[in-house]
Amino acid sequence: MSLKEVARRAHVSTATVSRVLNGVDVVKNSTRTRVMKAISELNYHPNLHARSLAAGGSRTLGVIVSNLENPFFLDVYRALEADCHAHGYEIVVANTGYRSEQLVASVRLMIGRRVSGLAAIVSEMDHDLIRELLDSRIPVVFYDVGPTRQNITNIRVNYRKGVERIVEHLFALGHAKIAFVGHHSALGPIDERRSALFEALRRQRPSAEVEFFAAEDSLEGGADAARQLLAGRFPATAVICVNDLMAVGVLKQLREQRIRVPEDISVTGFDNITLSRFCFPPLTTVDIPRDRIGHILYAMLCDPEAAIADQREVVIQPEFVIRESTGPARPAARASDPVALAAAKR
């Protein structure tokens, strides 16, 4: 089924069919009707590949994300999608699942598709790949790609500020032994949330103790990390989680081992996804305005008129949100060791 057959059936040239299809030029009304009739009779659907080839481009944005399953991304996506559809853009997404070979494959896929812009929400990307991408001349905006700063357009979140607030809050409540729960890539040398924690600690209370735990970025991962924590000997009174998703996993595991939050131990999240209000107890967390990020992505990639369009870097200021997962530290005592506690209650 092709233009040609439509043209034949409507007794016009392919050029004319193309015209009515795209609503360009002026086409006599009677001709237009004839063409539309042929189109629907033949159940004709233009071949989009041919179209972008001939037109030398298409209104399509690519989005690469490292973990589709984190609702954080979905919220960004929803805002981006709304803007795109409102302006005739399509979106194609690729999920890397934190696998670097998959990231390479996804980047090449997007280049091969000749997307008109690319949003990379991947938090890590090596230099060569960045160069390969940049050389393709596709407009790219990174979200939160660490200190790998080259001449890259980047949307950054001021994690320092967020972490600072969390730590302040926890110290004010008397916590001094803190566990940090991250996913693997959050423990890499370039991870900002973790280094921000280091710094905040060093600045606010160098005497505080921290221990790091890592697992997969998921509910299960959070539970894993909590299990590790409880299996170890570190008597944490508070757990700072790299994001809400893992925090909810931590919450569940603690509950399962009869450890009360926040009475026995405090837990914080990050992102303020919807789930952070629906879990039990609701999480103290840091809000990142995800829909704003989606809109900014659109503006930077598709709307040269936009005020932000030519900025090299946009910094998002997150906001601290206190809910019910944090409370005063238990008085320091031997029996306060989470492990002992868990054991005792079991």
Partner DNA sequence: TTGAAAGCGCTACCAG
Partner DNA sequence: CTGGTAGCGCTTTCAA
Binding-site ranges for a copy of itself (CB under 8 A): 43, 45-53, 68-69, 71, 74, 77-78, 81, 85, 90, 92-93, 95, 102, 108-109, 111-114, 132, 135-136, 218-220, 223, 248-249, 251-252, 255, 274-275, 277-280
Position 50 contacts DNA (CB under 7 A): yes
Provide the minimum distance between the beta carbon of 127 and DNA in the complex, in angstroms, as a whole number: 25
The partner in contact with residue 71, picked from a copy of itself, DNA, none with C-beta cut-offs of 5 to 8 angstroms by kind, is a copy of itself
Sign of torsion over alpha carbons 282, 283, 285, 290: negative
- The region of 42-50, 178-186, 199-207, 218-226 touching DNA under the rule CB under 7 A is 42-50
Nearer to a copy of itself, 135 or 310 (CB): 135
Least Å distance, CB 233 to a copy of itself, is 26
3-state secondary structure the chain: CCHHHHHHHHCCCHHHHHHHHHCCCCCCHHHHHHHHHHHHHHCCCCCHHHHHHHHCCCCEEEEEECCCCCHHHHHHHHHHHHHHHHCCCEEEEEECCCCHHHHHHHHHHHHHCCCCEEEEECCCCCHHHHHHHHHCCCCEEEECCCCCCCCCCEEEECHHHHHHHHHHHHHHCCCCEEEEEEEHHHHCCCCHHHHHHHHHHHHHCCCCEEEEEEECCCHHHHHHHHHHHHHCCCCCCEEEECCHHHHHHHHHHHHHCCCCCCCCCEEECCECCCHHHHCCCCCEEEECCHHHHHHHHHHHHHCCCCHHHHCCEEEECCEEECCCCCCCCCCCCHHHCHHHHHHHHC
Q: How far is the CB of 164 from a copy of itself (least distance, A)?
A: 29
The minimum distance between CB 8 and DNA, in angstroms, equals: 10
Which of a copy of itself, DNA, none does residue 274 bind to, with CB < 5 to 8 Å depending on kind? a copy of itself
Closest to a copy of itself by CB, 256 vs 313, is 256
Q: Which is nearer to a copy of itself, 64 or 201 (CB)?
A: 64
Contact between 150 and DNA by CB under 7 A: the answer reads no
Sheet holding 90-95, edge to edge: 90-95, 60-65, 117-121, 140-143, 154-157, 313-316
Q: How far is the CB of 141 from DNA (least distance, A)?
A: 24
Q: Considering the complex, what minimum distance in angstroms separates the CB of residue 52 from a copy of itself?
A: 5
231 binds, among a copy of itself, DNA, none (CB under 5 to 8 A by kind): none
Chosen residue from 47, 204, 274, 317 binding DNA by CB under 7 A? 47
Min CB(132)–DNA separation in Å: 15
Under the criterion CB under 7 A, does residue 55 sit at the interface with DNA? yes
Give me the phi and psi of 62, to 5 degrees please. -100, 145
Among 42, 46, 109, 168, binds DNA (CB under 7 A): 46
Q: Which residues bind DNA (CB under 7 A)?
A: 2-4, 11-16, 18-19, 21-22, 24-28, 30-32, 44, 46-47, 50-51, 53-56
